[in-house]
Amino acid sequence: MPDNPTCLECHKEPVTKSTEEEKIRQSQQKGKEIVWKRIYEQPDHVFFSHRRHVVLGKLSCQTCHGEIGQSEKPPTQPWVKMTMKWCMDCHTKNKVTNDCLACHV
């Protein structure tokens, strides 16, 4: 999982009885990358790192993904619209830099 070292944290142990969820653990055990259907798209000039937000920033998955842990199947649309204003408001609230180069490459 290239930019998301924490993506399997939620699924180390079964959360649902879904066979789809089991595929996540099987892929990890086999060392195979899962090809995710992307529902959050960022422009090419925006850098987003799950590691920075979840591990270093200690944000919960629910911040951007809602009650994903209660879902029986993957979402089909984003829970929030990640606009620059939305991101900057979150950065301001959490006292994190809003310097352009922190997110724009």
Task: Note the pLDDT tens digit of each residue in 79-91.
Answer: 999 999 999 999 9
Confidence (pTM): 0.66
CA 90-101-36 angle, 5° bins: 65
- Provide the residue count of the chain: 105
- Per-residue pLDDT tens for 7-40? 566 667 776 777 777 888 888 888 888 777 888 8
- What's the average model confidence in pLDDT over 30-52? 87
Instruction: Say how far apart CA 53 and CA 70 lie, in whole Å.
Output: 21
